[in-house]
Chains A and B, each alone.
Chain A
Amino acid sequence: MTATRLSSGGSSIDRSRPVSFSFDGRKLQGFEGDTIASALLASDVAVVGRSFKYHRPRGIWGAGVEEPNALVDVGGSVARTPNTRATTELVLDGMIAKSVNASPNAAVDRNAFIDRFSRFIPAAFYYKTFMWPDWHLFEPRIRAVAGLGEVDARWQSPAAAADQINRHCDVLVVGAGPAGLAAAKLAASAGQSVILVDDQHEPGGSLNHRTGEIDGRPATAWAAETIGALSATGHTVLPSTTAFGIYDHNLVGLNQRHGDGRPDTLWRVRPRRIVLATGAIERPLPFANNDLPGIMSADAALVYLRRFAVLVGRRVVVATNNDSAYEVARALAEAGADVTLVDSRKDGTPAVPEGVSLTAGRRVAAARGKMRVEGAVLDEGTLLDADCLVVSGGWTPTIHLFCQARGKLAWSEAQAAFLPGDPVEGMAVAGAAAGAVSLSGVFESAAKAMPGATAAPRSTGVEATGGILAAWPIPDARGRVWIDYQNDVTAKDVELAARENFISVEHLKRYTTLGMATDQGKTSNLVGLALMGAVTGRTVPEVGTTTYRPPFTPVPLASFAGARGGELMSPVRRLPLENVHRARGAVFQEYGGWLRPAHYGGADADADCAIQDEAGRARQSVALFDGSTLGKIEVMGPKAAEFVDFIYYNTMSTLKPGRCRYGFMLSENGVVFDDGILVRLDEYRFVVSCSSSHVASVHARLEEWRQDRFGRDAVYVHNATSEMATLTVSGPNAKKLLATLGLGLSLDDADLPHMAMAEGMFATDPVRVARVSFTGDRSYEVSIRADRAEPLWARMHEAGMAFDAVTIGLEALMILRAEKGYIVIGKDTDGTTLPHDLGVDGPRAKRKGEYVGRRSLFTDVAMPGNRQQLVGLAVARGEEPLATGANAISREGGKLRSQGFVTSSYHSPTMGRPIALGLIERGAARHGEAVDIQHLGMVRRATITGPCAFDPSGERLNA
């Protein structure tokens, strides 16, 4: 036994509440408040995982987010979460934790043999070795052996979506250690609203385990009082919350963990001012075998002692190059350990703590041991017996967020660290993140971070004295010196990268994978680039750093997704009569963002029958159809007529009030963008009835031309699509059915001819009746307030009984319109189709006035020549319909060439044969010609015809 739980102490644990959990199948005990790491240490579990590449045994290094080794897959009552840092996750009763990249477990790993071949598998070994014949042949096996945690295949997204919260505040303080608390306190006392976040479960930072006095109070008490006062005065204090990224205009992303199975909460905070009090991360020391279990950050050893009452060893060597480890040595000695302090500095070292022996001016050259540390060899050869080796290689300020905000770093040779350089607007850095090494220095920087602040807290306690003697890896040192624990990068890998000329810091990263693991090199980056500098004769700032990018620590994708999943991923638009259609057995499908009845009755296998039946019966008597999704965009104002003339390809200003006209809208590149009916209500008022799926884009287009070309006072545009329902009555008996509704308007063909509009009343509601047709039969579109549509629809069905009326869905309507050769934009056209390709050449040839897309109709490519034109395609009665999308092919010089393709294809129940539309080269001039249609290797013959297959003379419009 080496690491032990002491019988008393531990500020973070509640000894009255024991918890049991399992690790790699072993039942273990801890206390409420323990992290997984502290509970494992308390049970003297030395090996907690296997390394990424070499399967080396690894132990707990740190006590916070920087942890490179102690990753566990955590399960229990909730789904398993891979690669959880054992140092930040609280242990829960019943929790099941499993080491990563180890089988069967971390203590006994059958792939441990790989380490013996390590010198044959340096950086980039896999890329160099498994090139031939194909990396993908080897990849699965390699991936099975290398890596970290496993994704749980049974994982399901939680029933509740992650909350997302947007907040503004005056000051956001990141980090609730001494600097953050002081800055928050100063901001609050200046009357500013404060959000204070800390990624630890217990805010307080170093005050939770370092001693000191602040304003005459013990540091821990001062921290608790400060946090209590902030909460009590309405400020927001968020523990277990990581500020993971800074985005444009000082947006800060926070991820809040709840620890009770609830999904994390994502906060988007827009502070006026950001104070980064993110502290610093202790670096390892470079010596051979510095990755052995039992080698730990000195600061972490103090955390485990003071907060969790875990003494990490009995015979402890404390190796350091700076003052911060002296308090650790003293505390360990006081707790009963034999402590030897090895300080690489000869002079200027602080007073040696009582009961500690100091070896000054010496470095640890190597660690001894196999599965855990057994001793330390000093550079002059002395072997120190030890069951734990705690190290401090200096402190790396946590400046990730500063750099994400495009802050530039400045190298401090004295502190052997990058510090924040020139300030970033709206942001200040305070405390250890800004290079402060003593409490008084921390408070000084906190006061500077809050300009105009009142008096900063005053501290008494341990003050730093000596400086730091940089401890970077020495090139060509003996043994294996680990730089990046998590991705298994050694000093030799960095030296290899330099030899192979991967000397740019970004190349170094990609070539060796230094800093690319889930910890993003929090303990290793600086050490790696210092070595690269030493090998290539450059200074650390000359080597530079890689780019800092969000997130600081991994954030669950569920946090970013929030409620945007399932039905809410891309919500459908719904018809006002949806429930009425459902009651009639409608089968719904999404069409262009709308959920609409595809057909009524006939689920799955019978769908085709139902559709054919609807389309067939629609021609016989009368059909009812819900066309509420059709656009109803009102255009009004003194220049409304001039406006629609410009918007449409067709001249529209000549339309008389009460009349309707079909027309195209083009893009500026001449391509047909939408088609539909324009209704003129009166001199200054039109209704644009655009395609259902184009309403938003047509509306945006109208607004753009209105605001940019015509002026807001000249035209007004209002999208009334969802305000009104449109119910269509179509077929030979449409007029008779409509007559029974008593709409109070004349249905006489002289008063209401085809392409005319009239207004009437249904009960107490005004209705608009437009006689336009998308079926080729006499049709009336009746529009009424959406919330009053239901009784009208019911009356239509009631009246329809006498006529054997049929309710049709969108699929039947598609057949009816295709029989007539009526197009659907985007289906029967593509991104190159010009209006004359559809046989509408009049405006192009004759219009004088300006309109959208006009000039593009006269370019070289727009000239008729070899363009694809809209045609019908006929096949013999009894054959299957052509495949939509199939190409019309020809052979030219032995090569297949596409002449166009089938755009719409159905079986027509009325005509008893297949019908199809297509875009075929020069098709308009080739009616009667046969063409080969190829689909999935099969070639069929079709005859090119005009687009309209049914009632070409249009008699049924007035039948």
Chain B
Amino acid sequence: MQLFHCPFCGTRDETEFHFGGEAGNIRPDGADVPADRWANYLYMRDNPKGAVREVWVHMNCGEFFVMERDSVGHEVVSSTSLDGAGHAR
């Protein structure tokens, strides 16, 4: 059971969090986005081994944030609130 850091609440148990997707999966707007670009956004994930940047949500307070962590050793490196500019996904 890991400890994650919610930027709003602090360090809490992983069971309070939900995974929100890989960070940096920027949404392409428009009805004319090329199909493969849109499919990439919807379905294609890197699933890297090692250092990862991910969006998580703390279910208790509703905070979405970007967490940098290691997918092998499970070290949590940083947690940052979203800035609302659509860069997380």
- Interface of A with B (CB < 8 Å)? 247-249, 251, 268, 270, 668-669, 699-700, 703-704, 706-714, 850, 854-860
Specify which chain B residues have a CB less than 8 angstroms from the CB of A268 in the assembled complex: 1
Is B84's CB under 8 angstroms from A850's CB? Answer: no
Is A859's CB under 8 angstroms from B35's CB? Answer: yes
Is A710's CB under 8 angstroms from B74's CB? Answer: no
Q: Would you list 21 pairs from A and B whose C-beta atoms are within 8 A, ordered by A residue?
A: A248-B2, A248-B3, A249-B3, A251-B1, A268-B1, A270-B3, A668-B42, A700-B57, A703-B64, A707-B64, A707-B81, A708-B55, A708-B88, A709-B84, A711-B83, A711-B84, A712-B84, A713-B84, A850-B30, A856-B38, A859-B38
Given contacts A251-B1, A268-B1, contact A704 B64 (CB under 8 A): yes
- Give chain B interface residues in 31-75, CB to chain A under 8 Å: 31, 33, 35, 38, 41-42, 55, 57, 59, 62-64, 74
Given contacts A668-B42, A711-B84, contact A703 B1 (CB under 8 A): no
Is A856's CB under 8 angstroms from B82's CB? Answer: no
Specify which chain A residues have a CB less than 8 angstroms from the CB of B2 in the assembled complex: 248-249
Specify which chain B residues have a CB less than 8 angstroms from the CB of A709 in the assembled complex: 27, 84, 86
Q: How far is the CB of B79 from chain A (nearest CB, A)?
A: 14
For the complex, give the distance between the alpha carbons of A712 and B85 in Å.
10
Q: How far is the CB of B17 from chain A (nearest CB, A)?
A: 12
Is B64's CB under 8 angstroms from A856's CB? Answer: no
For the complex, give the distance between the alpha carbons of A859 and B33 in Å.
10
Contact pick for A855, options B20, B31, B55, B82, CB 8 Å:
B31
Is B82's CB under 8 angstroms from A707's CB? Answer: yes
For the complex, give the distance between the alpha carbons of A580 and B63 in Å.
37
Is B84's CB under 8 angstroms from A856's CB? Answer: no
* Closest partner residue, chain A, to B87 (CB atom): A708
Contact pick for A248, options B74, B83, B86, CB 8 Å:
B74
Specify which chain B residues have a CB less than 8 angstroms from the CB of A710 in the assembled complex: 84
For the complex, give the distance between the alpha carbons of A675 and B82 in Å.
28
Specify which chain B residues have a CB less than 8 angstroms from the CB of A247 in the assembled complex: 1
For the complex, give the distance between the alpha carbons of A856 and B28 in Å.
12
Tally of contacts, chain A with chain B, CB under 8 A? 67
For the complex, give the distance between the alpha carbons of A669 and B27 in Å.
12
- Interface of B with A (CB < 8 Å)? 1-3, 14, 18, 20, 27-31, 33, 35, 38, 41-42, 55, 57, 59, 62-64, 74, 81-86, 88-89
* Closest partner residue, chain A, to B21 (CB atom): A704
Q: A248-B1, A249-B74, A708-B89 are in contact. List 6 more A-B contacts (CB 8 A).
A: A268-B1, A700-B59, A708-B64, A708-B82, A711-B83, A855-B31
For the complex, give the distance between the alpha carbons of A649 and B35 in Å.
20
Q: How far is the CB of B88 from chain A (nearest CB, A)?
A: 5
For the complex, give the distance between the alpha carbons of A707 and B34 in Å.
26
Specify which chain B residues have a CB less than 8 angstroms from the CB of A668 in the assembled complex: 27, 41-42
Specify which chain A residues have a CB less than 8 angstroms from the CB of B20 in the assembled complex: 704
Q: How far is the CB of B82 from chain A (nearest CB, A)?
A: 5
* Closest partner residue, chain B, to A715 (CB atom): B84
Specify which chain B residues have a CB less than 8 angstroms from the CB of A711 in the assembled complex: 83-85
* Closest partner residue, chain A, to B18 (CB atom): A700
Given contacts A711-B83, A856-B42, contact A850 B64 (CB under 8 A): no
Is A855's CB under 8 angstroms from B33's CB? Answer: yes
For the complex, give the distance between the alpha carbons of A247 and B74 in Å.
11
Given contacts A249-B1, A251-B1, A268-B1, contact A707 B31 (CB under 8 A): no
Specify which chain B residues have a CB less than 8 angstroms from the CB of A248 in the assembled complex: 1-3, 14, 74
For the complex, give the distance between the alpha carbons of A251 and B3 in Å.
9
Specify which chain B residues have a CB less than 8 angstroms from the CB of A854 in the assembled complex: 30-31
Interface centre among A669, A708, A850 (most CB of B within 10 A): A708
For the complex, give the distance between the alpha carbons of A270 and B82 in Å.
29
Query: Which 10 interchain pairs have the tightest Cβ spacing?
Result: A711-B84, A248-B2, A707-B64, A707-B82, A249-B3, A251-B1, A709-B86, A850-B29, A855-B38, A703-B62
Q: How far is the CB of B33 from chain A (nearest CB, A)?
A: 5
For the complex, give the distance between the alpha carbons of A708 and B65 in Å.
9
Given contacts A249-B1, A249-B3, A711-B83, contact A700 B62 (CB under 8 A): yes
Q: How far is the CB of A635 from chain B (nearest CB, A)?
A: 14
